[in-house]
Amino acid sequence: MSAPISTAMDNLTAAIRSNIIPNQEYLLQGSVLDSAVEVLLHRLRGLCDNVDTGPETFNDHEMCFSIRGAEQPLLLRVRRALDYQDMPWQLRYIGQPELGDKSRPTIVRSSLDIATSNTVVDFLTELGCRLDFEYIARGYMFRKGRMKVTVSKIFKMGQQGKIPESMEAISQSYLVELSVLAPSGQDAIAEDMRIFAEQLKPLVQLEKIDYKRFVH
Amino acid sequence: MQREEKQLDSALEAIIMRVNDLKTAIAAMIFKLEHEYETLNWPNFLDNFALISGHLTSLSKILGHDKAPNLRNLTVLPLRLSPEKDDELLRLTEGRIPTFAHDLVPDYLRTKVEPQAEQKMIQLEAKAANLNYETSHKQVAQYTKVINHVWDIANKAREEWESEAGSRATQAQTSSTADTHALVAAVGMGKGLKSDSVQMVQSGVNSVPSGMMVGRPGNQQQTPGQGSLGNPPMGQMNKAPSAIKTNIKAASQIHPYR
C-alpha cells in the first residue's frame, strides 16, 4: 500500500499534461435552404458511416448562460434532449473561435462538455449565471469517422421557457455544421474536414464563419 | 527532267523518314508488349497507339500532298537477280533479306495486294454483282433505318444530358449566405433570440424562490444596457451597484474550488 492514492485531480492533471483530452473543436458551418434539405440528407446518407441505421434525429433545447468575467462574458451552454427526457443533460463550455489564416481550413475553438443532472440550471443560477438566450434545435446527425455532421432547424423558444405549440423557425434554412472534437495539435483532421466539405459543394458551402463580424 | 528527279528524291526522302518513324514506333510497341507486359497499363498502351496513328496520318498527308510525285506511275524494274548472299542488301534491310533471288523478289516487289486478300476481294465483288437491285436497295434502306435509329438514341441521350447539366447550373441556389450568417449568429451569440428571452428570464427567475437573490442581480445588470426597452422602477436601479458587488463575490467564490 505504498503507492500513493491518486486523486481525481491527479488523474485530470495527468490527462491534461499528456494531451489526451479532446478539448479542441474543429468546426465548419453552413446552411441549406429548406427546399434543398432532402437532397443534402440523401447525399449525407451516402457519404457517411451510419448508412444502415439511417440518420439519427435529435430534438434538443439549448440554453446559453453567461456570467460576467473580466472583459468578455463567459458563456456556458446547457443542452437537453426533448425527445428523451430521462437522458442526462449536457453542460458545455465553448471558447472563443480562432479563425486563423487561410492555411487553416477550419475554425478551432476550445470545447469542454460534461453530462449533468437536470438540476444544472438551478446550480448555474445559484452561481450567478443568467440565461442569455435559448433555442430549440431539431434535425439530423450523421457521422463519418471522427467527423460529426448535424443538419438542424433552429426554432425560437416560447414565453416562460415553455415549448411553444407552434414553433417559429428563425430562418428558411437548416443550419449545417461539420465538427470534430480532438486533443489540441491534431491539425491533420482539419484537412479531412476540408475534403469532406468539398464533397458537399455546391449544395452547401461549409466555411469558417466569423459571427463576431456581423453581430453588433 | 533534272528538276523532277530532284523533287522525287526529296519526296522519297521525306517518305522514308516518316516510314522510319512509323517503324520505330511499332518496334517500341512490340518491345513493350514483349518485355513490359506485366506492368503495362491501358493508358500507356493507348498512348502508343495514338503515336502510331499520328505517324500514319503524317505519312498519308505527305503522300496526298499536291506536289508529291505520283508513285503509282513509277515502276521498280529488277535488272539482275543473284542467288548469292549480298552483304550490302543485308545491311540495308537490317538483316531481313540476305539475297536478291528469284524466290524472294516477287514477294517484295509486289505492287498488288496479297493473293489471299485478292481472292477474298474477288469473292465479295462477285457476291455484290449477283445481288439484284431490289434486294440491295431494301438492305440499304434497312441499314439506313437502323443507323437513323441509333443516331436518334444518341441525340436524345445527349439532349437529356445537356438539359440536365443546364438545369443543374440554373438551380444552383441551394443555400443562402444571409441565412448561414443569421443561423450562426443566432446559435453563437443569440442574435434574434434574445429579445424574447429577456422577458422570460425575469418571469422565470421570479418564479424560482431559491434563485431569487442571485437571479435578481443578473436581471438588473442587464437593464442599463437594455436602455429604454425595459422600464425598471427607480428603486431597483439604485440598488444596481450593490447587486453587481454580490455578483462579483459569487464569481470570486467559484475560483477556490477550481
Q: Which residues of A touch B170 (CB under 8 A)?
A: none
Whether pLDDT at A190 is above 60: yes
| pLDDT value for B204 | 39
Q: Do B200 and A161 touch (CB under 8 A)?
A: yes
- pLDDT, tens digit (0-9, with 9 covering 90-100), for B37-86: 888 888 888 888 999 999 999 888 888 877 777 777 777 788 888 888 88
Residues 6+ away with beta carbon under 8 Å from A167: A136, A155, A156
State the pLDDT at residue A2.
Answer: 56
> Is B229 a residue whose pLDDT tops 60?
no
Q: Do B172 and A170 touch (CB under 8 A)?
A: no
Which residues on chain B are in Cβ contact (under 8 Å) with A32? Answer: 174-175
Q: Tell me the CA distances in angstroms from A110 to A97, A185, B86, B145, one per residue in order.
A: 8, 12, 89, 71
Cα distances (angstroms) measured from residue B28 to each of B46, B129, B214: 13, 44, 89
A180 with A147: CB under 8 angstroms? yes
Distances (CA, A) of B4 to B67, B68, B77: 11, 11, 19
At residue A181, the 3 state secondary structure works out as strand
Which position has the higher pLDDT, B206 or B14?
Answer: B14
Interface test with B, best of A28, A66, A130, A136 (most B CBs within 10 A): A130
| A160–B200 CB contact, under 8 Å | yes
pLDDT mean across residues, chain B: 74
Cell triple for A214? 456581423
Angle at A69 between CA A68 and CA A71, to 5 degrees: 110
Q: What is the pLDDT of residues B166-194, one digit of tens each?
A: 776 666 677 888 888 888 888 888 887 77
Q: In B, which residues are within 8 Å of A69 by CB distance?
A: 251
- Taking Cα atoms as reference points, which of A88, A60, A93 lies closest to residue A76? A93
pLDDT, tens digit (0-9, with 9 covering 90-100), for A113-126: 899 998 999 999 99
Grouping H, G, I as helix, E, B as strand and the rest as coil, residue A91 is: strand
Determine the topology of domain A23-209 in CATH: Hypothetical Protein Pfu-838710-001 (2.40.320)
Give the least confident one: A28-32, A54-58, A144-148, B196-200: B196-200
* Closest to A132 (Cα-Cα) out of B203, B219, B245, B229: B219
φ/ψ of B154, rounded to 5, equals: -60, -40
Q: Residue A26 in contact with residue A106, Cβ under 8 Å? A: yes
The confidence score (pLDDT) of residue A27 equals: 92
CB atoms within 10 A of CB B170: 7
Helix (H, G, I), strand (E, B) or coil at B5: helix
- Give yes or no for B54 touching A (CB within 8 A): no
Half-sphere exposure of B249 (CA within 13 A, CB side): 10
Cβ atoms of A60 and A138 closer than 8 Å: yes
* Contact partners, residue B243, CB within 8 Å, separation at least 6: B216, B217, B220, B221
Residue whose grid cell is 437573490: B213
Residues contacting A89, CB < 8 A, separation 6+ = A78, A79, A80, A115, A116, A117, A118, A120
Query: Which residues of chain A does B183 touch, with a Cβ-Cβ cutoff of 8 Å?
Result: 29, 31, 154, 170-171, 173, 175
CA-CA distance, A119 to A125, in Å (whole number)? 10
Q: In order of start, what are the domains of chain B with their CATH numbers?
A: 2-73 (1.20.58.1710), 79-111 (no CATH), 113-159 (no CATH)
Q: Would you tell me which residues 215-234 of chain B have a C-beta closer than 8 angstroms to some C-beta of chain A? A: 215, 217-219, 221-222
Give the dihedral of Cα atoms B99, B100, B102, B103; nearest 10 deg.
50
Cα–Cα distance list, B254 to A69, B10, B257 (Å):
12, 100, 6
Give pLDDT, residue A205.
87
Give the DSSP letter of residue B65. Answer: S
Q: Which residue has the cell 443543374?
A: B168
In the block, cell 442599463 appears at B224
User: Is A46 strand, coil or helix?
Assistant: helix
| Residues of chain A found within 8 Å of residue B221, distances taken between Cβ atoms | 68, 130
- pLDDT tens digits, A160-186: 566 666 678 888 899 999 999 988 777
**Cell numbers placing A23:** 478539448
User: Would you place residue A85 in the very low, low, confident or very high pLDDT band (cuts 50, 70, 90)?
Assistant: confident
Name the pLDDT band for B140 (thresholds 50, 70, 90).
very high
- Residue B222 scores a pLDDT above 60: no
β-bridge mates for residue A131, sequence order: A65
pLDDT score of B209: 40
Q: How far apart are CA A169 and CA A156, in angstroms?
A: 6
A58: Cα separation from own chain's centroid: 13
Q: How far apart are CA B73 and CA B146, in angstroms?
A: 42
